[in-house]
Structure 1
Amino acid sequence: MTVYPASGLLLLIWLVLVRRDIDNSLRLSIACLPLGIFAAANLAGLSLLAAHMIALLSLLLLSLRALAAPGGPRIGPVTPATMWLLAFMAYAAVSAVVLPRIFAGQFYVFPMTVSLRGVVVSADFPSTMMPLGPTTSNLAQAGYILISGMFFMAASATFSWRGAAFARSAVFWAGLVNLGAGLLDLIGLDDLLTFIRTADYALANTHTLAGFLRVIGGFSEASVFGATSATFFAWFLMAWLTGRRPSDGFIALGSMVMALFSMSSSGMATLVAALLLTVLHARIWAGQRLSRGFLHLLVILGSGLTGTLALMAQSDALMAEAARLLDALIFDKPASLSGLERGAWAAEGFNAFWQTHGFGAGPGSLRANGLPAVLAGSVGLPGILTFGGFLLAVLAPVGRPGQPELFQMARVAALTTLFGLVLSATTPDPTLLLMSFAAIACAARAPQTGTSGRRMMLAGIAAQPLRREGAAPPIRQEGDRG
């Protein structure tokens, strides 16, 4: 077991924050999400990411607070989203233990742990295949799924109680962390990130595309950083359009720049998806009364962008460079090493689905590419149905959500995250990022009543939170600042 010094500093920050407010632990968990290369410890070759460590501490604190509340825990309403998610978590946990043993040795898979051992299947990429069998990755991936699921339930309860301002502030700090890590990498100061690059992952911080160095920010590779930046762009763009806060517009612009400089195909595609989703939700932000100053700003931005593109089109050198980048990012991508490798991963994920008669080989048994192939190969049809039911229960349009603007912001961000996972996910973990936005959407879609927001719910168990007399915060409305 290896414990890294940076995790000690993080724990110190956590202690300072939770002394002020236990719910700050959730804020810190979400703020750590852009640091996907930051491992707090390495346990038998498995990296415990800092975000997951703080998420576990958050779950522990919130559970203890619920159990210690006056009168003891009370049974609260169990939402359809919670039921679907619990079913998904249960099947993932059981399948991770049982299915790799039932189907052991019956077919070959790309293992989760990339190594030079195994059978070489192509001269075009280095990934090798091995016979299916139980590994430590089964327990690790099942654990990640359980943490993500429990985090959703704790976060949705907390956001319901603390209100919109608390949810906004949690994402605000995460967006700043992602932007800061990206800027350090972009300007060549990524050596300052060395102390948090502790996860046992292959670090792709020197990769280039068409001669340009790709920005990876707080992650190990450009594709994850690009998709994450596009997700934050979606949230902050919607926040800026609905709330007109300059800080939201600044982070939205910075996140868009980071997604572009990641030079990632999946990042670019996710960025386009974020723009399209924002347009599809125009009735939320365009239906409001637009001030003259805001309309002038939109006109200036649109005119500036159009003029810049027109000037660029006059330069043959710039157009040739743009064409070269498009070829590398999009048109030549399927024939690249990465494209061929990920295509093979996806094909073997679906092959595992058929080989296991639709049950899947269990989380952690194989590496696939794209959420459909990952779910099909890992958790099979039961996992697809239960996870799909959860997404519909949380993100499906609702007639009159309690906080419509916050719900649409979270919905656009969650759908953008989901689009990125559909393109490039390699494990069936829903990720804490998706669960965070899903929790905000779940809290925002519930009808607002006078007292329901003061109840803490954790996996269907609710209890009044412990707070000093007179310290309970008022229920914040959508217009409050975070």
Structure 2
Amino acid sequence: MYAFTLISSLMGGSAAFQLPALGGSSIPPVQFALGFLVLRLLLPGSGAGELVKEGICANGLLVGFAVYGVTMAFVGPRIFADQIMVVPMRPTAGYMFAVFKLGPTSQNVTASVYMLGTMMLAVASYAACRHEEGASALVKAGVAICCLHMFFGISGVVFAGTAWSEVLGFFRNGNYAQLDQRLGTVVRMNGIHPEPSSFAGFGFVWFLFMAECWYRGVQPRVTGWVALTMGLTLAASTSSTAYLGLAAYLTVFLLRAVFVPDGVSSAKLIRLAIVALALAIVVSLTFLLKPDLVATASRVFTSMTVGKQGSDSALQRAFWAHQGVNAFWASSGLGIGPGSFRSSSLPAAVIGATGLSGAALLSLYVIQVLKPWRASTYNRVQNMADATGVAAAWTAACMLIPASVVSPTADPGGDFAIFAGAALALRRSARHSSSLTPAFRPASPAAHLTSPWPKPRAS
């Protein structure tokens, strides 16, 4: 059920069902699958009751953030109604800077459902990863998700305009702005996601996890190749979100290699340098044989990076992000509630929607997940369960970098919850171990998992 829920997150442009009473708001498949996972955990006799309690306590800061956010989603727009002008989550006017008086809308309810889903997904991910096969399920599902995500993205570009586009369109049935964008003759990747930005954002999250697993020796032959191909796919996606995320992660990677050289073997750094050199040679030869590609690649890269600074999209996003700051001051630091306005930055959305309390709770939760005071966060560990947990922790932290400039809401999202809950579960100290029924035995902190994959059979 955990793997099923993880793979359901792949369908970011889909809707399991829609709620006409809430303006046709879409409930994504991952939220629908989460319901079955929660039922599996709460079934009488499942032996998972203690794990759920542990998960709620371990994710207490996120639970507090979600509860406060849901409370403000209903209270905030009523307390501060008509006191501030905002851009709603679903703008109806054609003018890019059009604003309306603050008031309660159906999007406050939708945002509350998403925030509760994020909270429940973190608790469920914690409980699943406390199971002895949780780390294995997370890594295996990650490999499958990356392969499927790349397949949908690349095939959508290669077979653009054919019947395959209709097949991909079948999965894009959510009530979102489904965009098929082009840059001249270049088709941008979106796979089964609503737009290239969300395609790149989702792919970047799982690229992070695969790269961190390779970095920490968790099935490196598989995760290394998957991370490499996913990184190349993101580079070819023509998405500014992908370029921002890759540049940010490369910076984090180099800083760790410089300041914590014992965190990774020199052999891996040499392999990484060889791969980078080989890619540079291949790209150079390609441009040499086809000079016209240089102009096309330069135009695409410029338009998606420095060329965006003065564009209408950049100005609109900056205007949206500034709303969070205005809402923070207008509400005296309390917040006006998630779903009350559209943002384009997670920090701005958090302080504007949940105020100082919500920002403090979420910030402390991120610190709790990453555990920067532990040596295992930077150095190599032999326990594969712990290594997988560290990889999940870095994934949860680093994925917030692109979210800080693209997220429209204060909800950190289901992907963040998956890795945050997994990190807390897999990195538990031995003194917190608890006795549970054999039917749902958690992973013991003392157990050394040599690999999250089954051992090959003897010939």
TM-score normalised by length of structure 1: 0.81
Q: Please give the alpha-carbon distance, in whole angstroms, between the structure 2 residues aligned to 1:72 and 1:298.
A: 44
In the superposition, relative to structure 1, how do residues 69 and 251 fare at CA in structure 2: closer, same or farther (>3 Å)?
closer
C-alpha deviations, 1:370-420, integer Å up to 9, x for none? 101111221111110111111111113223476442133213322231112
Letter in 1 for 2:152: A
SS at the partner of 1:61? Answer: helix
Number of equivalenced pairs: 433
Distance 1:432 1:295, change over 3 A: closer
Is structure 2 residue 330 aligned with structure 1 residue 355? yes
Counterpart among 86, 89, 114 of residue 112 in structure 1: 89
Instruction: Kindly provide the amino acid, as one letter, of the partner of residue 263 in structure 1.
Output: T
> What is the one-letter code of the residue matched to 1:92?
G
Q: Provide closer, same or farther for how the CA distance between residues 411 and 258 of structure 1 changes in structure 2, counting only shifts above 3 A.
A: same
Equivalent residue, structure 1, for 2:123:
153
Please say if 1:57 is aligned against 2:39. no
1:227 partnered with 2:192: no
Matched, 1:128 2:98: yes
CA distance in 1, matches of 2:318, 2:108: 23
Task: Please say if residues 107 and 355 of structure 1, whose CA atoms lie closer than 8 Å, have aligned partners that are also in contact.
Answer: yes
Corresponding residue for residue 204 of structure 1: 179
Alignment pair present for 1:248 and 2:231: no
- Equivalent of 1:481, from 453, 456, 459? 453
CA distance in 2, matches of 1:284, 1:478: 24
Alignment of 1:85-100 (within 5 A): 85-100=62-77
Change (3 A) 1:439 1:284: farther
Output the amino acid matched with 1:405.
A
Cα deviation code 1:75-115 (max 9, x no counterpart): 96578752211211111111011111001111111111232
Secondary structure of 1:111's match? coil
Q: Greater CA deviation, 264-273 or 397-406?
A: 397-406
Can you list the C-alpha shifts for 1:451-478, whole angstroms capped at 9, x where unaligned? 93874xxxxxxxx3746xxx99996715
Q: Aligned pair in 2 of structure 1 residues 407, 74: CA closer, same or farther (>3 Å)? A: closer
The match for 1:367 among 339, 342, 349 is 342
Indicate if the aligned counterparts of 2:81 and 2:103 stay in contact, CA closer than 8 A: yes
Q: Does 1:331 align with 2:306?
A: yes
Report the Cα distance in structure 2 between the residues aligned to 1:476 and 1:69, rounded to whole angstroms: 25
CA contact (8 A) 2:3 2:141 kept: yes
Following superposition, the deviation at residue 244 of structure 1 comes to: 5.5
1:184 to 143, 155, 165: 155
How many Å separate the matches in 2 of 1:143 and 1:333? 33
Amino acid in structure 1 at the alignment position of 2:168:
L
Contact 2:209 2:392 (C-alpha < 8 Å) held by counterparts: yes
Cα distance, 1:187–1:211 mapped onto 2, change above 3 Å: closer
5+ residue gaps in structure 2?
378-382, 455-459
- Mapped pair 1:406 → 2:398: no
Given the superposition, is the C-alpha separation of residues 263 and 418 from structure 1 closer, same or farther in structure 2, using an over 3 Å criterion? same
CA displacement, residues 195-227 of structure 1 (integer Å, 9 cap, x when unaligned): 21110111111x123542111122101111112
Q: Does 2:4 align with 1:34?
A: no
Task: Tell me, yes or no, if the aligned pair for 2:197 and 2:240 is still in contact at 8 Å.
Answer: yes
| Alignment partner, residue 114 of structure 2 | 144
Code of the residue aligned with 1:351 in structure 2: it is: N
1:303 to 264, 277, 280: 277
Amino acid at match of 1:184: S
SS in 1 for 2:119: helix
Q: Secondary structure at the match of 1:47?
A: strand
**2 CA distance for matches of 1:85 and 1:453?**
22
SS at match of 1:379: helix
Aligned counterpart, 1:13: none
Q: For residues 197 and 255 of structure 1, what CA distance do their matches in structure 2 show?
A: 22
The change in CA–CA distance for 1:95 and 1:309 in structure 2 (over 3 A counts) is same
What is the RMSD computed on CA atoms of the aligned residues? 3.0
Matched, 1:424 2:396: no
Separation in 1 of the partners of 2:293 and 2:414?
40
Q: 1: distance between equivalents of 2:272 and 2:356? A: 46
Q: Using the alignment, how far apart are the partners of 1:80 and 1:144 within structure 2?
A: 20
Deviation of residue 255 (structure 1)? 1.5
Q: 1:102 — aligned with what? A: 79
Shift of 1:174: 2.2
Q: Distance in 2 between matches of 1:372 and 1:199?
A: 26
Cα 1:346–1:302 change in 2 (3 A) is closer
Q: Which runs of 5+ in 1 are unaligned?
A: 1-24, 456-463
The aligned residue for residue 380 of structure 2 is none
Q: Aligned partners of 1:334 and 1:289: how far apart in 2? A: 39
1:7 alignment counterpart: none
Asked if residue 257 in structure 1 is aligned to residue 232 in structure 2, the reply is yes
CA-to-partner distance for each residue in 1:12-36, whole Å, 9 max, x for gaps? xxxxxxxxxxxxx121111121211
Cα gap change, 1:408 to 1:151, in 2 (>3 Å):
same
Question: Offset of 1:277 from its aligned partner?
Answer: 2.8
CA offset digits 1:301-348 (Å, max 9, x no partner): 233123235546768655444432332112121221211111111112
